[in-house]
Structures are given as C-alpha cells and as structure tokens.
Amino acid sequence: MTKEFSTVGVFGKRDSLDYEPLRIIAELLIKSGRQVLLEKKPAEALSLGEGFSRDEIGKKSDLIIIYGGDGTFLGVSRRMAHYDVPFIGINAGRLGFVTDIPSDKMVEEISEILSGHYYTDTRCLLEGIQIRDGKEIYRNVAVNEICVSRGNSGGMIEVSVSVNKLPMSRQRADGLIVSTPTGSTAYALSVGGPMIYPSVACTLLIPVAPHSLANRPIVIPENSLIEITVTDMRDATLYFDMQDNSEVLVGDIIKASPYPHRVKILHPSRHNYFDTLCKKLHWNYLPTDR
C-alpha cells in the first residue's frame, strides 16, 4: 500500500460505547503503517493512548474516517471542513446518502482507497449568519441545509427573501429551507424539492407547507447571497443541518452564502452516485414488484 495518508483521524457515533468498529478500522490502519488519531474515550477504551481533541485531529490528519450514519458524518465534517482534510464515510445508519460505504464492506473499501484507488467528490457548504438589530448574534455552517422553521406554537412564519440584494418574494409557510445539492436528498426532498447531482453549482430555496401554492422551490446560482428577513411569527427557530439551532425573533435577518471551504469525500473508484439513489429510493422497483 502507498502511504498517501500517513496520519488518519477516526470518529464514531458520538454517544456510542460500541468501539468494536473503530478497533477494526484502527487495526487496519496500524497494520498498513499509518498513525491513528482518536478522541479521548475511544482511544482509552481501545488502549491507543490518551486521545486527542477534535481540533488536534483536524490539524494533524491527512484523512478522516467517520463511522456512523449521515447525521454523524454531517456533525463531524461541517465542523472540520476548514481543515481541508478529505473524509471517508462508513454507513452504520439507515439511509446513508453521504456515508455510502456499507459497514460490512468497510475493510475492503477502505483498503482500496488507501491503496490509491479512489476518486474525490467535492461538496459545497453553506454559511449562515443571524443578524439582530444590526449585530451578528449567531453563525454556523451546514452541509445539507439552513432552515428557518416555525416553533412549538404551530403558527406559520412570514418572511421576505432577497437574492443578491434583489427582492425575490414574501412568503407565509411553516418554514423555508436553503439547501445545498447534498441536502437535496435530505429535508428538502421530503417537502417536494428536486434532487440535484452533488457537483452541480447551485443552491435551492424550498418553502415548507407554504400558505400559497404559488410559492414553489427554486434553484439559484451557488454564489448567491440569500437574505431572509422574518417579518411575522409566533415563534421560530434557525437550524443548521437540523443539529444546531438558534432562536429567531421578528426582525431578524438570516444571511446564507457559500462557505469558503468544501467537504471532500473519498469514494472507491467504482462508486456510482446513481447506484446510491437506486438502492436508497428503490428506483429499480416497479409497482408490480414484490
């Protein structure tokens, strides 16, 4: 095997105490002559030193392997994208649109990538900034989507939207999703948005249960600045990949634009994105199939 990736960070499910998959991955890497970096708990459980902080792993690693579902991958990759380290996603969850390597084939396919047989899939991210009374109060990054959503009261929210300082629309809806192409198979898909091939340079705007059926999803250029002003609501929340959130008040402005760093995902050379769609969405099944 080549030593293209001499230092590899390995992450598992955040709250899982099952470290056996991480042990298998670590042993594979060590056997191939590579240094393995783990966070404190798994490192101590596997007797692989004291472990490292997430920032230390990002700074030291040439490659990061993430074992878990898409949620685990999103949580790690968006916080570490600024280190410009490539990622491998091992699917231990259910759907697995970005963690595309099955856990039962991880040894074979990680070995293939480590031997140099892979291609790089580059995904854009969104950065969101929340402005209140002219001051920034919150900032975060999303791999899938930034979403302004109604709160527990159940009332609709009203927003005005501009793109590159040009007024676009006013909408009343349960929410508004700003999605990357990666996120087009996530929340955006469930509310009727289009599926976008991951390398297409665009951003999606998708209303959630709009009051007017005339408010439809729209695809705009990736380099757009989107500004969402909340003009009326009972309560609302700003979400990033449905993981991190911030309370929203009337008058808040949410600015969404491309994040300067990208997530680089390594796939085995035979990987086919359309195979993933066929398997996860059952595209090959006809109504008469049993």
Active site residues: 70
Question: What Å distances lie between residue 211 and 27, 157, 227, CA to CA?
Answer: 55, 10, 20
Residue reference for tokens 């676009």: 168
Strand partners, 173: 157
**Contact yes or no for 19/12 (Cβ under 8 A):** yes
Rounded Cα–Cα distance for residues 242 and 257 (Å): 18
Q: What is the dihedral of CA 98, 101, 107, 110, to 10 degrees?
A: -50
DSSP annotation string for 137-201: EEEEEESSEEEEEE-TT---EEEEEEETTEEEEEEEESEEEEE-SGGGGTHHHHTTPPP--TTS-
- Please, what is the angle between helix 106-114 and helix 20-31, to 10°? 30
Q: Which of 213, 217, 212, 211 is nearest to 188 (CA)?
A: 217
Residue type present at position 224: S
Among 268, 121, 148, 126, residue whose Cα is nearest residue 208: 148
Half-sphere exposure of residue 29, counting CA atoms within 13 Å on the CB side? 26
